Amino acid sequence: MPSTINFLRTVADPTRLRLMLLLECDELSVAELQEILGMGQSRISSHLAQLKRAGAVTDRRAGKKVYYGLSNSQRNGTRVRAQELVHAMAREIPETKRDRTALKLALRKRQDKAREYFDELAGKFGRSYVPGRSWEALAHTLITLLPAMTVADLGAGEGTLSQLLAKTARKVIAVDNSPKMVAFASQLAKKHALKNLEYRLGDMQDPPIAKNSVDLVIFSQALHHATRPERAIGHAHSILRKNGRIVILDLLSHR
């Protein structure tokens, strides 16, 4: 593990300090950091590489994008005092307030872009082949074996799985961040007379569902769309009743 001295030497640079303060708030791509800081790609990438070597940040790939965030050792308090010093140093950086404002704008743009993408897909899944839909025939049989329960389908999309679950569940709450997806799926539920199926507009990372209110939370090919999967899972856990379960379904990349 990199030493605390090396860590402090690395983050003492004003630009790297600004990067750390931003990544403490949320995972961000290089492009988003460029937009927030108004700096070039090579400069930001160089600083990120140094922070990564110092053990201050980590990265993860999500599709074609790479997101950077504060490393787990920082969040787990291994260097709590060093982190406190970082915040003390931040008070000497005049750009931090502007950075926070730019961060909010960048995250809002990310959410809007994701919403637009899924708005365009609304109503198209049922008319074309979608990878991962081969589970549907098997699901028809397996779902009949489930006991009556309250289910949350987070990142539900058009709600194909939600509609299957509603056939045996006590209640199904389907959450999606696309207004068009929610509107389209709500019409399908109404068409099929699924009165125990409710669609809600919201983010899977902070679903509009009361705490301790559901028995089962499902992420079906949705969790990889979350910018902070751990946050989505954390909120999913908070809405579960005692002895509740979380099920995550996703595809492996082709090899």
* Average pLDDT over every residue of 17-38: 91
Q: Provide the strand spans (E) within the chain.
A: 28-29, 57-62, 65-70, 150-154, 171-176, 197-201, 214-220, 240-249
Confidence band, pLDDT 50/70/90 cuts, at residue 172: very high
Give the per-residue pLDDT at 76. Answer: 46
* pLDDT value of position 132: 47
Domains of the chain by residue range: 4-120, 130-249
Q: How confident is the model at residue 167 (pLDDT cuts 50, 70, 90)?
A: confident
pLDDT in tens, 189-224: 898 899 999 999 999 999 999 999 999 999 988 888
254 pLDDT band, cuts 50/70/90, is low
Tens of pLDDT, residues 49-65: 999 988 888 898 876 78
Judge residue 15's burial from the number of C-beta atoms within 10 Å of its C-beta, 0-12 exposed, 13-18 middle, 19 or more buried: middle
Instruction: Name the DSSP letter for residue 146.
Output: S
Domain 4-120 has CATH 1.10.10.10: yes
For 111, residues 6+ apart whose C-beta sits below 8 A from its C-beta are: 177, 203
- Cα four-point dihedral sign 101, 43, 79, 107: positive
Domain at 130-249, CATH class: alpha beta
- Can you give the pLDDT at residue 127? 45
pLDDT tens for each residue of 90-126: 777 888 889 989 998 988 888 777 666 555 545 554 4
Q: What is the pLDDT of residue 7?
A: 77
CA pseudo-torsion sign 97, 101, 106, 110: positive
